[in-house]
Amino acid sequence: MAMQVGESGDEAPMMEINTTPLIDVMLVLLIMFIVTLPVMTHAVKLDMPQQQANPPPQDQVQVDPIRLDIDWDGTVIWNGSPVQMSQLEGFFRAEAARQPQPELHVRPDRRANYDTVARVLGMAQRNGMVRIGFVGNEQFMD
């Protein structure tokens, strides 16, 4: 690399573009795009109900809903009694076979682990539960 120091007899302007600032700006933009991209997460795909033109008939037998609480430490409570995750699959299968199928009211604790809630919801859908709803959302509004 040669560097010219002092005056040269040639007063011509420099004809080369300084690309260093351009590269710096491009790197900053690249980093900003990488940081602002949404993080890809593993989600449980839930099939949401479609709106029907005709409402269901009112003469159907009303079935008590299943209350499923998920505690902060991962404890799953089925209608007031704690159950193990291995037992939960059998409960879901049995309730999904009933006609009419009862509603599943999921009430996760505010501090419940997302992974536990997602596994329970995935397990419910995998075993045929189609009437799933969340209750107690007012705890998340403040």
Helix and strand counts by DSSP (H, E) for the chain: 3, 5
The model's pTM is 0.58
- Both structure tokens of 82: 């704690």
Per-domain residue ranges for the chain?
Answer: 66-140
Q: Which fold has domain 66-140?
A: Nucleotidyltransferase; domain 5 (3.30.420)
Instruction: Give me the mean pLDDT over the 10-34 stretch.
Output: 86
Confidence of residue 16 (pLDDT cuts 50, 70, 90): confident
The predicted structure's pLDDT at residue 66: 93
The predicted structure's pLDDT at residue 42: 61
Strand, coil or helix: 34: helix
Residue 45's nearest CA partner among 118, 132, 133, 130 is 118
Alpha-carbon dihedral sign for residues 26, 31, 36, 39: positive
